[in-house]
Amino acid sequence: MRLEKSEQRSILAVLLRHAGGLDLEVYLYGSRVDDEKKGGDIDLLWVHPRATELRQSKFRILVELKEVLGDQRIDLTIVSTDELAHDAFLALASRTRVRLVAATPE
């Protein structure tokens, strides 16, 4: 996975502020999952029961992510568990996704 541990922690910290006290279920998918590839945007999949509500805050969340990660291309997809189970694109992305987990500082 081509995402530094510090970047993972930063992403999770931003999303945690919006999660409403619920556990985070956040995945990286796309080219950044493949260590052999170069470049690519940060494709994030956030599964949350309040997905519809959180999508209304997506722009604000992306601004916060860019503030902590720098000027990188970030794609944030916010879905409910039900949407995840019934969307063909997300099913395809789920084949290679990697869950982001908060790790202890390096």
Q: How confident is the model at residue 1 (pLDDT cuts 50, 70, 90)?
A: low
Pick the CATH number of 5-99 from 3.90.1300.10, 3.30.2450.30, 3.30.460.10, 1.10.357.10: 3.30.460.10
Percent of the chain's residues with pLDDT above 90:
54
Residue 4 reports pLDDT greater than 50: yes
Average pLDDT of the chain to the nearest whole number = 87
Instruction: Encode pLDDT of 27-46 as tens digits.
Output: 999 888 877 777 789 999 99
With contact defined as beta carbons under 8 Å apart, do 24 and 99 qualify?
Answer: no
User: Domain limits of the chain?
Assistant: 5-99
3-state secondary structure 69-102: HCCCCEEEEEECHHHHHHCHHHHHHHCCCEECCC
pTM: 0.87
Q: Compute the average pLDDT of residues 48-74.
A: 94
